[in-house]
Amino acid sequence: MQSDTIKRGIQRAPNRCLLYATGISPSDIGKPFIGLASSFSDLVPGHIHMRDLERYIERGIAAAGGVPFIFGVPAVCDGIAMGHAGMHFSLPSREIVADTVEVVARAHSLDGLVLLTNCDKITPGMLMAAARLNIPSIVVTAGPMMTGRYKGRRRSLVRDTFEAVGLAQAGKLGYEEVAALEISACPGAGSCQGLYTANTMACLTETMGMSLEGCGSALAVSSKKRRIAYESGQRIVRLVRENVTPRRILTLNAFKNAIVVDMAMGGSTNTVLHLPAIAAEAGVKIDLELFDKISRATPNIVKLEPAGDYYMEDLEYAGGVPAVLSALKGKLEPSPTVSGKNITDIAKNAKILDAEVIRVKNPYSKEGGIAILFGNLAPHGAVVKQSAVSDKARKFTGRARVFESEELAMKAVSEKRVKKGDVVVIRYEGPKGGPGMREMLSVTAAIVGQGLSESVALITDGRFSGGTRGPCIGHVSPEAAEGGHIAIVREGDTVVIDIPSRKIDVRLTDADIKVRMATWKAPQPKFKYGYLSRYSKLVTSASTGAILK
């Protein structure tokens, strides 16, 4: 076992002495040492119930003959970090999560890992670590939150709080009503209720075979989630004994299957950052063109909020990820999973329990949820959640309204200076220029709340929350800070967005662009010290997953 490095032989007497100080017994020395990487936090609603899940995972590990060791991993709540300087740290925290798991696992020669995670950047960070370490690993995502309830209707974070801000600014909602919504929309533990980044990544983790069957949608407050936690603890000991490592599971087929499910469900655009980053750690190359190729051939059969009116609880009751796999079984490639079953067998044996939530016979559209756009504004690509864009707004031509930061754009929207026909351009918010590629949910939700979701477009080298809807194009690459063409767009320029044709352009000739670029100067870094200063120097383009090099 890997852990023999720290526990076998006379020379390891001091190491064993310290291990005994933790409370283990001499009889435990011959057992597999399993690290339980827990991202428990009192700050993050999706993680506040993890102490309970830790207990069940520990019990499973011990029952199967392993020794559990819990260690902590940091977690950022994107919703709390949204709309201010805190969001600079969200995407960069993904790398810290991966590095933390790597450091602890390698320093202590752990035999295997259970990765307890849930929210936006923690799950991909955990998967990156698993692929990098390549020791037996299993992921337990802690589950989605139930919807809230107010005035006889189900309520959720994005539609009933973020978009409520825009409604209030437009005079359509009183502040007392906003206060009532904010206290009722999120009733307790779990990741936010729609198909935003956290829940998308949970579903794709299960699809890639790194979680047990049913884990992706099992609700945070359910006994089913506890059982999955316990069974995951048992299963990791078996994986260690059989030496089933992540790179045997995270193959090209696994990533292709994840993209198929992502497109079929209309998942968060952030997957276009996270899947390539995980793949890079696993030694697999996937690019933006693969996302678009699969999207064109995959029907959109699920529409959860923000694109539709269903929630993760509805998906769970419809059969969860296995039911989605069943609907897509003709499009899936054979791929092993941590359960020991092949993903194609799981798909074959699953049943769809609600044909309205998972629509096989009458899909919402012939194409998948995400589209990749190219053009003179985004030579290396840009990303849009097309399943959340109305038919009226799929082709959009408008005048550029240029802002050098999210805050300036939000101020203009709040003051109602953004009008019908405008294309809001927010730049210097990319991985390097942001730094950290902030999400723009506050801006997009305010636009929706003001009733402008079909008449105003938004483009940025930053990114969007999975909760964004409307013609919002993110991940514009190259970003402004690297001299991308978004840097030379001027107020009043005409921007043309054509999602069906996968095009995004500014009406400038090559000569015009060349003249403007000749006078462009790279901006000074926004952070002169600390983690973000280092991050901005090492991070790569959004088109390659914003990985560090």
Catalytic residue list? 465
**Cβ partners under 8 Å of residue 127, min gap 6:** 115, 139, 205, 208, 210, 250, 274, 278, 281
3-state secondary structure 107-134: HCCCCEEEEEECCCCHHHHHHHHHHHHC
Among residues 387, 395, 521, the alpha carbon closest in space to that of 454 is found at: 395
Instruction: For residue 282, give both structure tokens.
Output: 């696993």
Main-chain dihedrals φ then ψ at residue 127, nearest 5 degrees: -65, -35
Instruction: For residue 547, give both structure tokens.
Output: 């990985």
DSSP β-bridge partners for residue 400: 423
Peptide bond into 68 cis (omega under 30): no
Question: What is each CA distance from 303 to 195, 267, 274, 360, 498, in whole angstroms?
Answer: 8, 9, 21, 12, 22
Contact 369, 385 (CB under 8 A): yes
Give the Cα separation of 482 and 226 in Å (integer). 46
- SS3 for 432? coil
Give the Cα separation of 374 and 276 in Å (integer). 18
Contact 155, 181 (CB under 8 A): yes
Give the Cα separation of 82 and 105 in Å (integer). 31
